[in-house]
Structure 1
Amino acid sequence: MKLVWSMVLLVAATTMMNVAKCWEEVPASTSGGVILVGGKVLCQDCTEGWNEWVHGNKPIEGCTVSVTCKDERKRIVYYGSDKTDKAGDFEITINKYVYGKKINPEACFTRLVSSPDPVCNIPTDFAGGKTGVKLGRPTIVYRDTIKHILEPLYYTTPMCDEPNASDNDNDNDDSYGKEKNY
């Protein structure tokens, strides 16, 4: 009988220890931390005088800015976006580990997606917002948080948009890029 009670108590104690381990809180240091990407989106109007064009940029509320991160095989492992507030500021939070893989900030880039402004809605590459800004050195590193504060990204008006001069508009080319024989 003593042997049976000893076995029951042993099983009960083992079960209680396993349950206690399940409820154990995971320390913050093993959670991996976060990468913060922040910045500002502004409207740059070329129709103004030089001083107003350079210093008179106004923030755009409601712009969508995205961050895309790729792995070593150039596959997208993270995509996130944020909308700007009244001051034109955005901040995107990325977990350092996504599906068990560590995000490499140098393989991430930030770009402009859309602007709700009916006049100032053409993305520019003045600070890389159109093609994408790679995350370089972090601005702030504190414990498990790495923060990248980017230079302002700009939209402009259709009047200020430069046409693409690299397109060949030859009459000798058809719509498939083959030369016509006359």
Structure 2
Amino acid sequence: MKMIWSIVLLVVVVGVMNVGECWEEPVGNGGDGVIRVGGKVLCQDCTEGWNEWVAGHKPIKGCTVSVTCMDERKRIVYYGRDETDSEGEFEVTINKYIHGKQIKPEACFTRLVSSPDPICNIPTDFAGGKTGVKLGRPTLVYRDMIKHVLGPFYYTTPMCDEPDTNVNDNDNDDDNSYEKEKNY
């Protein structure tokens, strides 16, 4: 009788292990089933002369760049980030399958998050770095790896930042002295 219960228990354990393996997410080892997003982050100073401004960009080490992927209902299914190295380069690796669902690269976007540089820390929207850029056509497709090379993204100095000139029509400024004088 003990022998029968041992065999039944062994069969149950093996069955549970097999079910557990079915739910396991595919692991990206060296490029199997992954999406890689990479690029560069540079500092562009508008206070320099034209030649220095065009060719004088420098990489920023330690900038944070994020990748956010959404599902068809516009819910976030993946958020990842990376810091740039001394060359200003970043790379985020995403498994193609998360919780059994395939990530669609066209539903992912990349954007600048922060810059550690005390002078060059204003994100620009050049190449979509500030508002975010959607992943489009891949740069490289090899077996189970899709690679997107983006950018370069740029930060600039506060002196180069464009002021917000949008007038908010919803402002109800009750402290308008002209309106007060007009009502008397």
State the TM-score, normalizing by the size of structure 2: 0.78
Paired AA for residue 56 in structure 1: G
* Aligned 1:23-172 pairs, distance under 5 A: 33-168=33-168
Within 2, Cα distance between the matches of 1:55 and 1:169?
41
Within 2, Cα distance between the matches of 1:168 and 1:162?
17
Paired AA for residue 43 in structure 1: C
State the shift of 1:51 in Å. 1.4
| Bigger-Rg structure (1/2) | 1
State the shift of 1:40 in Å. 0.3
Within 2, Cα distance between the matches of 1:45 and 1:126?
13
Q: Structure 2: any 5+ residue segments left out of the alignment?
A: none
State the shift of 1:169 in Å. 8.5
Displaced runs of 4+ in structure 1, greater than 6 A? none
Give the 3-state SS of the residue equivalent to 1:65 in structure 2: strand
Q: Once the two structures are superposed, what CA deviation does each residue of 1:52-92 show, in whole Å capped at 9, x if it has no partner? A: 11111000000000000000000011000000000000000
Within 2, Cα distance between the matches of 1:54 and 1:101?
44
Q: Would you tell me which structure has more helix in proportion to its own residues?
A: 2
Percent of matched pairs sharing the same residue: 72
Within 2, Cα distance between the matches of 1:98 and 1:169?
43
Q: Structure 1: any 5+ residue segments left out of the alignment?
A: none
Query: Is the 8 Å Cα contact of residues 41 and 151 (structure 2) preserved in structure 1?
Result: no
Within 2, Cα distance between the matches of 1:174 and 1:43?
39
- Equivalent pairs, count: 169
Give the 3-state SS of the residue equivalent to 2:94 in structure 1: strand
Q: Once the two structures are superposed, what CA deviation does each residue of 1:137-162 show, in whole Å capped at 9, x if it has no partner? A: 00000011000000200000000000
Within 1, Cα distance between the matches of 2:47 and 2:169?
28
